[in-house]
Amino acid sequence: MIDLRLLIAAVAVAVALSGTSFAASQRTVDVITHAAFFSEEMKQSEVVDPHVFVQDTVAPETVGPLGIKHVAGLRPALIERDAKTLPLYTANGKALGMHLGTWLGATLAITITDVGGDARLDAVFSGLKPQGHYSLFERHSDQNPVTFTPMDGGGNSNSFVTQADGTAKLSIKLFTCKITAGRSVTSLPSRTRSE
């Protein structure tokens, strides 16, 4: 079994949290795809997923919109234009073993609770790559350059492996009780396994 390291590819989920403090005892947050989040933040003319690639015979080797260099014959997936049946690849041309529709079909429900100053994030995932290795990070868009921090503050409990059906549950004690404007929760695959 070979470990295939992905180029910090996002799972197609990012949670837009704006100005959230945990004054309430429970909060459920809305979820959008990472492609939509990235495209809006970077003011792209169309929704692009900079982390996954589709075949395009005329695409040259180049650097994509997030600075990821990809081989000739591949380009970043265009969410609204590309057929959902197109197979996905890494920037180096290795098949991810899923189609664009499957990639976009991943779901995430997050609830953040605060009980006496003890904040927890509970996440339920479905539609992810079976036996995929993932990690949850807080993205600090308000910093220059943008940085990522493990959701638990130390990288000890922010990672998980999906079940054979592509589902997972994760509960994390948050290291801070405030997520401010310009920050979001992002799930990043840390690696996938391939025979």
- One-character DSSP codes across 118-148: EEEEEEEEESPPTT-EEEEEEEETTSSS-EE
* Position 40, amino acid: E
What's the pLDDT at 25? 53
Cβ–Cβ < 8 Å for 59, 73: yes
Whole-prediction pTM value? 0.67
Report the number of distinct structural domains present in the chain: 1
Reading the block at residue 123, the tokens are 């996440």
Q: Domain range holding 30?
A: 2-194
End-to-end, the C-alpha distance of the chain in Å comes to 5
| β partners of residue 63 | 69
Low-confidence residues of the chain: pLDDT under 50? 1-24, 177-184, 186-195
CB-side exposure of 133: number of CA atoms within 13 Å?
A: 11
Beta bridge partners of 185: 15, 138
